[in-house]
Amino acid sequence: MPVTNEEIATRPVAASASYYSTFDKGYLALSPAKKYISSSSAWTREWTLLEPSGSKQAGASSKDALRSIVISQQLLATEAIVIVKHTGCGMLTFENEDAYGVVERNLGAEARRELEEKSWISSLSLS
């Protein structure tokens, strides 16, 4: 069954309210306890909440995560970077032109032009 626009708009708010209604970790320091940041395509759930500073980046591209890494290391005192990658990443199943074409069909030529200015990771090698 398709998800409605209303569900898309309200689901994150409801999920956040549910999460924070039982959240009891407000005492944790802003800086990560273990002094490292992780950059991953999908959040590594094995890590304890707020153990590392986290940066979820599709494709786990350190280039895409650079801003978060710089902030984490320069302002939050992290000392190491962990980049988690995996094979079969869905972000690598398309080429730039595929994404541009879909955006143009769905959102128009102006949206395509804006997208073309961005750096995509479809050519990233995970080997």
Please list, in sequence order, all residues whose beta carbon lies within 8 angstroms of the beta carbon of residue 38, skipping any fewer than 6 positions away: 44, 47, 52, 53, 54, 55, 81, 82, 83, 84
Residue 78 labelled as part of a binding site: no
Please list, in sequence order, all residues whose beta carbon lies within 8 angstroms of the beta carbon of residue 76, skipping any fewer than 6 positions away: 30, 31, 32, 53
Residue 124 labelled as part of a binding site: no
Please list, in sequence order, all residues whose beta carbon lies within 8 angstroms of the beta carbon of residue 126, skipping any fewer than 6 positions away: 85, 86, 87, 89, 92
Residues in binding site for Zn(2+): 86, 89
Residues in binding site: 86, 89
